[in-house]
């Protein structure tokens, strides 16, 4: 039997699309809400990745969470967060909001603006249950991620020593994971190496790109994703922007058992 490819392409056309109400359109990368798929529950510690479009003056009202590491990366418009810890903040494109739900928290996420808000919401399972709830956020300009790997969030493990990393704000997840965002001009490439026993989930948010190893190349269009897995040996990868540039999110973590 041939070994499994280290790159698994996930076309945008394969994502579940949910339109439960007039103001929301979601694309689910994993089993969630009205999309139940026991064969697509997670990718290691990555449990949820939703690509949400929220119409103006609408959003997710107050609702509870528990024992989840949750962050939102804003792609367009503004997202307003309010929670039971007393935090309130509105953040625009390229910024990140993080919440460790821990023992329990109630929050809302609203689009208080006049334009549709697009954001990626990601849930990671924590390293243990019962953490004290906390909130964090970071504001970034395009220059921080332009042709660079902006380190949005860190975790309990080491940060990969890749070229082109721009240090972020030091927000730490309760999980062995690192999150990067990058917005690139046409033809710009990033060479990265996943250490043995590590994996990553790559989302092409805007534009197009290719991800390649020494003998495999996969093209990603807008909203496509890819699972990248280094098994017993390090995995060299090149991430290259397409002819109209690329904007991507990369979540690096411990390999699934």
pLDDT attached to residue 195? 98
* Rounded Cα–Cα distance for residues 153 and 168 (Å): 7
Q: What is the mean pLDDT of the chain?
A: 96
Residue 2 inside a domain? The answer is: no
- Cα 29 to chain center, whole Å? 11
- pLDDT-derived band at 2 (thresholds 50, 70, 90) equals low
For residue 37, give both structure tokens.
């798929």
pLDDT attached to residue 126? 98
* Rounded Cα–Cα distance for residues 38 and 23 (Å): 28
* Rounded Cα–Cα distance for residues 101 and 124 (Å): 11
- pLDDT-derived band at 184 (thresholds 50, 70, 90) equals very high
Judged by DSSP in three states, 58 sits in: strand
Q: Give the total number of structural domains in the chain.
A: 1
Helices (H), the chain: 142-145
**Are the C-beta atoms of 106 and 83 separated by less than 8 Å?**
yes
Residue 136 inside a domain? The answer is: yes
Annotated binding site: 63, 65, 107, 109
For residue 193, give both structure tokens.
């190496």
Residue 1 inside a domain? The answer is: no
Which regions of the chain does DSSP assign to beta strands (E)? 7-10, 16-21, 24-28, 46-54, 58-65, 69-76, 79-83, 88-91, 96-100, 105-111, 117-124, 134-138, 149-153, 165-166, 177-184, 189-194, 198-212, 217-220, 225-229, 235-254
CATH number at residue 140: 2.60.120.10
Residue 236 inside a domain? The answer is: yes
Q: In the predicted model, is pLDDT for residue 149 greater than 60?
A: yes
Residue 184 inside a domain? The answer is: yes
- pLDDT-derived band at 1 (thresholds 50, 70, 90) equals very low
Nearest to 141 by CA among 181, 179, 196: 181
Whole domain around residue 46: which residue ranges?
A: 7-254
Span 168-189, mean pLDDT? 95
**Are the C-beta atoms of 233 and 184 separated by less than 8 Å?**
no
Annotated binding site for Fe cation: 63, 65, 107, 109
CB-side neighbour CA atoms (13 Å) of 231 = 5
Residue 239 inside a domain? The answer is: yes
Residue 238 inside a domain? The answer is: yes
pLDDT attached to residue 52? 98
Residue 116 inside a domain? The answer is: yes
Judged by DSSP in three states, 119 sits in: strand
* Rounded Cα–Cα distance for residues 68 and 91 (Å): 21
pLDDT attached to residue 168? 87
Tens-digit pLDDT profile for residues 73-99: 999 999 999 999 999 999 999 999 999
* Rounded Cα–Cα distance for residues 84 and 63 (Å): 10
Residues of the chain above pLDDT 70, percent: 99
């Amino acid at each position: 039997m041939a070994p499994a490819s280290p790159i698994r392409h996930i076309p945008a056309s394969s994502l579940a699309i949910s339109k439960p109400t007039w103001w929301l359109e979601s694309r689910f990368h994993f089993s969630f809400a009205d999309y139940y798929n026991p064969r697509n529950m997670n990718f290691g510690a990555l449990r949820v990745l939703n690509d949400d479009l929220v119409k103006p003056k609408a959003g997710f009202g107050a609702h509870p969470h528990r024992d989840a590491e949750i962050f939102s990366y804003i792609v367009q418009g503004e997202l307003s967060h309010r929670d039971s810890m007393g935090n309130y903040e509105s953040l625009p494109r390229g910024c990140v909001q993080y919440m460790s739900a821990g023992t329990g928290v109630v929050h809302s996420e609203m689009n208080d603006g006049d334009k549709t808000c697009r954001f990626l919401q990601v849930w990671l399972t924590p390293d243990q249950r019962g953490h004290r709830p906390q909130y964090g956020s970071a504001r970034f300009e395009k220059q921080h991620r332009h042709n660079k790997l902006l380190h949005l969030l860190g975790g309990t493990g080491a940060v990969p020593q890749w070229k082109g990393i721009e240090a972020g704000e030091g927000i730490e997840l309760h999980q062995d994971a690192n999150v990067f965002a990058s917005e690139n001009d046409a033809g710009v490439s990033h060479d990265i190496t996943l250490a043995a026993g590590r994996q990553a989930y790559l989302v092409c948010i805007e534009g197009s790109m290719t991800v390649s190893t020494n003998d495999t190349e996969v093209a990603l269009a807008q909203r496509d994703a890819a699972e990248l897995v280094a098994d017993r040996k390090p995995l060299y990868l090149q991430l290259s922007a397409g002819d109209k540039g690329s904007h991507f999110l990369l979540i690096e973590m411990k390999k699934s058992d």
